Homo-oligomer: A and B are copies of this chain.
Amino acid sequence: MRAAVIGLGLIGGSLLRALAGAGHTVLGYDADPSTRAMARTAAAKVRTGTRWRVTGSVPDAVEGADLVALAVPLPAIPGVLDELARTGHPGLVTDVTSVKVPVRAMVAERIGRLGLLAGYIGGHPMAGRETSGFDASDPTLFQGCAWVLCLEPRTDMRDWLALAHLLTGLGARVVPATAEEHDRAVAAVSHVPHLVAAALVRLAADDPLALTLAAGSFRDGTRVAASQPGLTAAICGGNAGTAGTALDALLDSLGTARELLAEPDPIAALQAWLAPAARVRSAWPAAASEPVDLPPEPEVLLRLGRAGGWLVSVAPDLRSVSAARPI
């Protein structure tokens, strides 16, 4: 297959390398000239046989592509969608941004206006790192990584399965979910944890003694607070409504903990509150079941995703999928 990757940061660069490594012809583009230069230098160094190349424009990258993957930050998506629509690209389009309802809305607006982009399937590989940029990219980044592919009422199942086939081929665990389900889940396990990490840093920031005493629980609990604030703000703020609802639930929960600290026997009260979380966290990440074959029907796949399951592989004829679940 011939693929175009627009945006060559950590995720886009890794996708470019992984697709080329899997034998696909890949053209990459990045709006930043220095990133393009870095990627070209890397392309010149790879062994013969892996086929990727960096172009000087979006139209050059997408010409003749079976799949276009948008790996730019959320604020850059509308501009790239407009450029892409102008090329008249008729095929599959996916993205890797960390919120799915807003991107779906951006695409839907353009489908209505331009009659294009109908082959859009939202995606999100859960492969963030503290590092960023093309020089941090890694062709093995997606092996074992959960990669949400949005499955909506209007999704063409053959397109969806073709994309799932491609991504499971890179070692990803493809998780079927609606855009809403995705945004709720990542609010809980990514957006709120980022806000909490920053709040924990703020709590200690003005006390040099506290920062000297800080050890493992502070180090790990605040690690992602060192991320680029602009990136974290775009991710959380791009999902503001859903992240707000999740943060409300966390505030409720911490409010309970606050009340337990004021009880006559706070130790016993806290122990009962902490125990279920310790059980869940000790069992995470879950082991995977043996793969089973499933019919590639939307409701079957969405049920699988809601149960925490994922696609291990898709048959080349797209007539069946192999799926695993957490056990």
Contact = CB atoms under 8 A, between A and B. Distances in A.
A307 B199 contact: no
B128 A211 contact: no
A258 B254 contact: no
Contacts of A214: 126, 189-190, 284-285
A276 B233 CA distance: 13
Given A198-B278, A200-B192, A203-B249, A224 B220 contact: yes
B274 A233 contact: yes
A250 B326 CA distance: 34
Describe A's contact surface by its main secondary structure.
helix
A324 to B, nearest CB: 10
Interface stretch (A49-57, A105-113, A237-245): A237-245
A286 B326 contact: no
Nearest to A210: B185
Contact of A212 (B204, B215, B236, B308): B308
Contacts of A85: none
Contacts of A228: 278
A194 interface: yes
Interface string A116-136: 000000000011110000000
Interface in A176-225: 177, 181-182, 184-186, 188-190, 192-205, 207-218, 220-225
Given A199-B257, A205-B277, A247-B258, A213 B237 contact: no
B244 A267 contact: no
A213 B249 contact: no
5 contacts: A190-B217, A208-B306, A225-B277, A227-B278, A248-B258
